[in-house]
Amino acid sequence: MTTKLFGEPVRRREDARLIIGKGRYLDDIGSNALAAAFVRSPHAHARITGIDVEAALDVEGLVAIYTYDDLTGPMAEPLPVLIPHPQLTQPRTGHALARDVVRHVGEAIVMVVATDRYVAEDAAERIVVTYEELPVVVGVDAAHEAKAAVHPDVPDNVAARHRQETGDVEPVLAASPRTLSFTQYIERSASMPMEGRGVHAKWDTDDRSLRVYTSTQASTSVRAAIAAKLDLSLDKVEVIAPDVGGGFGVKIVHPWPEELLVPMAAIALGAEVKWAEDRREHFISSAHERQQRQDITVGYDDEGRITALDVHVLHDNGAYTPYGIIVPIITATQLVGPYVIPVYRVQVDSVYTNTVIVTPYRGAGRPQACYAMERTMDRIADELGLDRAVVRERNLIQPDQFPYDHQLTFQDGRPVIYDSGDYPGLMVKLKELVGWDEAEALRSEAAARGKHLGIGMALYVEGTGPGPYEGGHVQVLGSGKVLVSTGLTSQGQGHETAFAQIVASELGVPIEDIEVTTGDTRRFGYAVGTFASRAAVMSGNAIALAARGVREKALRIAADVLEVDASDLEIDEGLVQVKGTPGASIPLRTVAVLSNPLRYAFDEAAKQATQFTTHDDSKPPVAEGDAPGLEHRDYYSPLRSTFASGAHAAIVEIDPATWEIDIVKYAVVHDCGNVVNPMIVEGQVHGGVAQGVGGALYERMVYDKDGQLQNASYMDFLMPYSSEVPDVVIDHQQTPSPLNPLGIKGAGEAGVIPGTAAIASAIEDAVGRRIAAMPISPTELYDLVRSPDSERTAASSRRAENGVLA
């Protein structure tokens, strides 16, 4: 019997090439291609008054220079608003090359193409752009004040007001035994994959067709965008995502200006053209996420049970809104977390600023949502003098309440109905894992060493695997090789392995015979993309369905040959056999050969399927309704998202002399339903936690008031090295999703979501001061603890009365 590979920690198949340096990332392609470089705006907001390329023209190796004036047809139009929404009343996008006004530092103005990147940069450096500077808006508060406007026809800087309510909040708040209100902030970070963006385009002058490689999370849609913008027939454009060196959200945005301009130049020049983004470009011209101001009012009773929640968020969407209001919607709808919130009202005002655009970064609005909800729980506990875990427990949705309808509308336009989960179960495990009930003993022990110790927790529910659909194709070749493809892309999640595991299990073939291709429009043209922890759920299920289709057909053909009933057959190790009758079998590869009636024999295997060897002349060679070949294509389109969940806790120690913050323990309990490959899922958790820690303590985009990004380098944007990432202990829970055939939920983003909330809670617990702005660094913590205005927690006052430090 084939060992069931589903659920096993199968070692990754993609690693074989990646560990010997044989991966194929974007910049590894086309070593002789011409190189593009860009002149980008040094100003956050300015009108372009002139572009003088004269000095660049005598740079040896210069091939072409493009400005807005060189763009024609759809290319001269603004970039698409990818995800329109009725509440996005003032969508604005830039042009592939700036037309008249630039709205953030880094916006592309001129594209230079030259023999190599060095030369392209030489030429770009000599191009003189003159500007008339305009007033700059930085930060949500400035945007809200609207002393200046980012877009002149949007004087209040509000792109969208996203509003949802599940009832009439105000009377419930008024009637609540208790209420509290507070304001908090969260800053910008960014996906920051180790490989930047990049595009390679090759125009086949004879065939008049275009092949584009791009480091993207959505190759099918990039293809459609290129065809539309460059006036090409879709069948003349193929787009391939090669090995992608990390995405984390930023590569879901498309088409990037460069994804259109590089192909445009390739066509115009009849040459291969490539652009490999450098790190500085990535900082100032890709995308960031996370800045919000949150004003929260909550009603609750003396037991800490929430009666009503009213949240107003100011969300910084940067200079443009190509990705619509997905992040605001996710914040709005995921805020409620694992809790029963009897009445909920949320309004997210998405505002323009003169900064890099804001689009999903792993978590995509959920870390902010979790921060809002979980910090609310902490405040309620503090006001009532209750254990923070107890307050949470009292508000949890109980296991018998599923499916649980929050009466909200999610990012996919579908209702937020939690499919399954066991939130009290998560709590039990988390408290045990982190040692929640022993925290006071740890605190005293640390105090004896002169350290402030604190503990915090945060829970989340994550809508994963949103539609509309993904597809899968499975084909068995006469050689026995099984080709599997799906349209969505991979950026390190191990899809080649996970999808192969699914097919091996469903079809009964050795995993070694399976070859998986993702993100290649030549192989699979219909797809949505890799985001929102959806790959395993969406493509995983589609591929499972496709494999089941192949299995069914294989059994049907084999039943014919073996003259048995299909239900008496099984497939194991690539052999179709009669159950319980050893020897009565036919290899799957032979079935594949027989599935395709042939006229011509080109090899030994094919001989078996030619017209004089196949008999039964009572039927046409290809039965009605059937098709040649042992293959099947299928799609999975879910009714709605499936909801994964988890709980994190952090213990921090703070040095009261230097205010350095050390995470001494980090505990994770997570539940993503059935697991295809636990090794891969655990890897996703570890990676997510590291980003969560980065977002809580180290990473932030520091803009000055002029809109200059002060830390556009790895030297100053502090992504954690291993020395900054704590050891993580993990426990698991599995509540399968009833919504899909495999019972799985997404796992890609979970690790990052509760980091900021849990760590803020732990720091607050350690120092006894309210933490209302994250991330927090030692210098800020120092400012906070010595500021006479900073608010003490009630818990710390109580502790002080009992003579305990902090």
Partner 1 sequence: MSVDTDRTITVTVNGVPREATVPVRRLLSDALRHDLGLTGTHVGCEHGVCGACTVLVDGDPVRSCLMLAVQVDGHAVTTVEGLARDDHRGGQVLHPVQEAFRECHALQCGFCTPGFLTTIAAGLEKRDPAAELTDEEVDDMVGGNLCRCTGYANIKKAVHHAAAAMKDDAR
Partner 2 sequence: MKPAPFRYADPGTLDEALAVLSAEGEGAKVLAGGQSLLPLLSMRLAAPTTLVDINRVPGLDSVEVTGNGVTVGALVRHTALLADDAAARVQPLLARATANVAHPAIRNRGTTVGSIAHADPSGEMTSVLALTDGAVTVATPSGPRTVEWRDLFVGPLETSLHGPAVVTSAFFPALPDRSGTAFAEVARRKGDYAVCGAGVVVTLDEDRRIARVRASYVSVGLTPEVHDLTEAVAGKPVDSADWAAAGALARTLVDPDTDIHASADYRRLLVGVLTERTLAEAAAEAAAKVTGE
The one-character DSSP state at 135 is -
182 binds, among ligand FES, partner 1, partner 2, none (CB under 5 to 8 A by kind): none
- 696 in helix, strand or coil? helix
Closer residue to ligand FES (CB): 27 or 506: 27
Q: Mark 18-47 with x for binding to partner 1 (rule: CB under 8 A) and - for no binding.
A: xxxxxxxx-xx--x----------------
With CB under 8 A as the contact rule, the residue among 205, 233, 618, 722 that binds partner 1 is 722
Angle 694-358-363 from CA coordinates, rounded to 5°: 50
Question: Is residue 8 a contact residue for partner 1 (CB under 8 A)?
Answer: no
Angle at CA of residue 624, ends 620 and 626, nearest 5°: 105
Whether the CB-CB separation of 284 and 220 falls below 8 Å is answered with no
According to the binding rule CB under 8 A, does residue 125 interact with partner 2? yes
Q: Does 702 bind partner 1 (CB under 8 A)?
A: no
Which residue's CB is nearer to ligand FES, number 243 or number 419?
243
31 binds, among partner 2, partner 1, ligand FES, none (CB under 5 to 8 A by kind): partner 1
The sign of the CA dihedral 319, 324, 330, 331 is: positive
Among positions 445-504, residues that touch partner 1 (CB under 8 A) are 491-494
Residue 121: name the closest of 276, 285, 283 by CA.
276
**How far apart are the C-alpha atoms of 646 and 644, rounded to whole Å?**
7
Q: Which is nearer to partner 2, 283 or 643 (CB)?
A: 283
Contact flag: residue 194 with ligand FES (CB under 6 A): yes
Nearest CB to ligand FES, comparing residues 191 and 285? 191
Q: In terms of CB distance, is 176 or 291 closer to partner 2?
A: 291
Q: How many residues bind partner 1 (CB under 8 A)?
A: 56
Q: Which is nearer to partner 1, 24 or 607 (CB)?
A: 24
Helices (H), 568-711: 588-594, 604-607, 678-693
**H-run or E-run covering 111:** strand 108-114
11 binds, among partner 2, partner 1, ligand FES, none (CB under 5 to 8 A by kind): partner 1
Answer with the entry of ligand FES, partner 2, partner 1, none that 793 interacts with (C-beta below 5 to 8 A by kind).
none
Binding characters for ligand FES, 146-185, by CB under 6 A (x = yes): ----------------------------------------
Length of the chain: 806
Site string for partner 2, 685-704 (x = CB under 8 A): -------------x---x--
DSSP character for 791? P
Task: Give the dihedral sign, CA 598/600/604/607.
Answer: positive
Residues in region 749-778 near partner 2 by CB under 8 A: 777-778
Show the CA angle centred on residue 700, arms to residues 657 and 148, nearest 5°.
120
Q: Does 618 bind partner 2 (CB under 8 A)?
A: no
Angstrom distance (rounded) from CA 218 to CA 211: 15
Residue 246 or 525 with smaller CB distance to ligand FES:
246
Which helix or strand (DSSP H or E) is residue 380 part of?
A: helix 366-384
- List the structure tokens of 86: 């009725």
Q: Give CA–CA dist 715/307, Å, rounded.
A: 47
Asked if 695 and 189 touch (Cβ cutoff 8 Å), the reply is yes
Residue 233: burial class (beta carbons within 10 Å; 0-12, 13-18, 19+): exposed
Options 181, 710, 787, 797; binder of partner 2; rule CB under 8 A: 710
Single residue of 145, 552, 565, 716 touching partner 2 by CB under 8 A: 716
Task: Compare residues 114 and 253 and give the one whose CB is closer to partner 2.
Answer: 114
Nearer to partner 1, 255 or 692 (CB): 692
Q: Give the span between the Cα atoms of 106 and 120, in whole angstroms.
A: 17
Transcribe 407-420 into DSSP letters.
EEE-TTSSEEEE--
CB neighbour class for 747 (10 Å; exposed up to 12, middle 13-18, buried from 19): buried
Residues in the interface with partner 2 (CB under 8 A) total: 29
If one asks whether residue 199 binds partner 1 (CB under 8 A), the answer comes out as no
280 near partner 2, judged by CB under 8 A: yes
Task: Provide, for the chain, the percentages of residues in helix, strand and coil under a 3-state DSSP scheme, each rounded to the nearest 5.
Answer: 30, 25, 40
Q: Is 3 in the site for partner 2 (CB under 8 A)?
A: no
* Nearest of 333, 537, 310, 324 to residue 416 by alpha carbon: 333
Distance in Å, CB of 282 to partner 2, minimum: 10
- The entry of partner 1, partner 2, ligand FES, none that residue 613 binds, CB within 5 to 8 Å by partner kind: none
| 240 DSSP β-pair partners | 213, 520
Residue with Cβ nearer partner 2 (116 or 301): 116
The residue of the chain with the least Cβ separation from ligand FES equals 194
* Residues within window 218-247 making contact with ligand FES, judged by CB under 6 A: 246
How big is the site for ligand FES, counted in residues (CB under 6 A)?
3
Question: Least separation, in Å, of the C-beta of 659 and partner 1?
Answer: 23
- State which of positions 665-684 bind partner 1 (CB under 8 A): 679-680, 682-684
**Residue 786 interacts with partner 1 (CB under 8 A): yes or no:** no
Which candidate, 76, 79, 31, places its Cα nearest to that of 259?
79
Q: What is the CA radius of gyration of the chain?
A: 28
Output 14 or 116, the one with its CB closest to partner 2. 116
Among 278, 440, 706, 791, binds partner 2 (CB under 8 A): 278
- Give the C-alpha separation, 160 to 348, whole Å: 8
Nearest approach, Cβ of 18 to ligand FES (angstroms)? 8
DSSP string, 326-354: HHHHHHHHHTTTTB--SEEEEEEEEE--S
Q: 186 in helix, strand or coil? A: strand
SS3 state of residue 615: coil
CA distance 754 to 553: 46
The overall longest dimension of the chain from CA atoms, in Å, is 96
State the residues that interact with ligand FES by CB under 6 A.
194, 246, 492
Give the binding site for partner 2 (CB under 8 A). 117-118, 121-122, 125, 278-280, 657-660, 698, 702, 710-711, 713, 715-716, 718, 720-721, 723-724, 777-779, 782-783
Binding site for partner 1 (CB under 8 A): 11-12, 14-16, 18-25, 27-28, 31, 116, 118, 192-195, 243-246, 248, 278-279, 491-494, 679-680, 682-691, 713-715, 719, 721-723, 725, 727-728, 751
